[in-house]
Amino acid sequence: NAGVTQTPKFRILKIGQSMTLQCTQDMNHNYMYWYRQDPGMGLKLIYYSVGAGITDKGEVPNGYNVSRSTTEDFPLRLELAAPSQTSVYFCASSYSGPENTEAFFGQGTRLTVV
C-alpha cells in the first residue's frame, strides 16, 4: 500500500550540479505531476504527464526536465542546479482526472542548492 513514493527525502546540491528526483506510484494512475512548494507561494506546477510517453510543461518548467517511460515512474531532472531551485518538490498522481478521484501526493523532497 505504498501510494506515491519519492526519493530522496532530503538533498543538498552545489551550484551547477545535477540530480534526478525519483517518483514512483503503484496505483496504475495515468496522470502524474511535479510541483514545487515555496513558502507563502502555494504549489506551482513544473511538469505533468497524462500517460506513458506523454509529458508537458506546467507553470514553472525552466531548469527542469522529465520523462515518462512507464506508467509507474515520473523522474524529474535538474541539469544545472541554481539557488532558485531550493524548494520542496512534490510528486502527485491521479487516475483519470479529479472528477472521479483525488490526486495522491508523495511525502516530498526537500532540496537545498548552495
User: Which positions lie near another protein, rule CB under 8 A?
Assistant: 4, 31, 33, 35, 40-45, 48, 50, 56, 58, 90, 92, 94, 97-99, 102-103, 105-108
Determine the Cα–Cα distance for residues 9 and 108; give it in Å rounded to an integer. 6
* Residue 77, all three cell numbers: 531532472
Residue number, 26 or 56, with CB nearest to another protein: 56
Determine the Cα–Cα distance for residues 39 and 21; give it in Å rounded to an integer. 20
Q: How far is the CB of 50 from another protein (least distance, A)?
A: 6
Beta bridge partner(s), residue 77: 20, 65
Q: How far is the CB of 92 from another protein (least distance, A)?
A: 8
Residue number, 19 or 45, with CB nearest to another protein: 45
